[in-house]
Structure formats: C-alpha cells, structure tokens
C-alpha cells in the first residue's frame, strides 16, 4: 500500500513539501522527526502517518497506522487522497505521475 510520485528530483520534492509546511503555505499537514507526515484536521487527526522513501526517480509514501487500531479504507483514502491534493495544488509542475495502490 503506497503512494508513488514520479519525479526527476525526489529528494528536492520532499524537501520542498517540508518547507511549505514549515512556512505555513500548506495547511492541515505536519511531519515529525522521522519525516512521517500526518493529516491534522479533526476527522482523521493523527490516525496514520505517511512515511517517505526516496528512490532514484520516485518519492514513495507508505502508510503506518496506529497501534491496536486497524487500518480502514476511510483512513487510507483520506490520507492518500488529501496528500495527492496537496501535491496537485502546490507541486503540480514537480512530478509527472502519481500512483496510489488500492486498499488491501
């Protein structure tokens, strides 16, 4: 289960996303010292975390759920769709394709 972003500069894109959160250009997202991203509005606040991994041509995000709380299609869908929305809204020129695996 992952969100995969195809980009020429995956490390730069990850840094730009963090910077936009730090500078409050992007709302409703935070990240922690492990670089895990959390969606912060009330509906799914800290119900999961997106963990980035930088490859040569992709920036991938896996999803981590809370301990003792099963991952649901709602949480999965909210986190990945809202992160895709962030990318389209703020970084549309920085990637060529976003792929999101179905919930399994």
Q: How far apart are CA 94 and CA 90, in angstroms?
A: 9
Residue 68 pLDDT? 84
In 14-96, DSSP assigns E strands to 29-31, 37-39, 48-54, 58-65
Q: List the domain boundaries for the chain.
A: 2-100
Residue 41 pLDDT? 80
Give me the tens of pLDDT residue by residue for the chain, a chain 104 residues long: 799 999 999 999 999 999 999 999 998 999 999 999 999 887 677 789 999 999 999 999 999 998 888 899 989 999 999 999 999 999 999 999 999 998 87
Residue 22 pLDDT? 97
Residue 69 pLDDT? 84
Q: How far apart are CA 20 and CA 18, in angstroms?
A: 5
């Amino acid at each position: 289960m992952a969100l995969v972003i195809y980009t020429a500069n995956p490390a730069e894109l990850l840094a730009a996303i963090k910077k936009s959160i730090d500078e409050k250009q992007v709302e409703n997202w935070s990240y922690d010292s492990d670089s895990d991203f959390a969606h912060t509005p009330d509906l799914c606040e800290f119900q999961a975390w997106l963990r980035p991994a930088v490859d040569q041509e992709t920036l991938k995000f896996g999803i981590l759920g809370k301990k003792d709380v099963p991952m649901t299609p709602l949480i999965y869908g909210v986190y990945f769709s809202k992160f895709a929305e962030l990318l389209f809204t703020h970084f549309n020129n920085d990637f060529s394709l976003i792929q999101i695996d179905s919930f399994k």
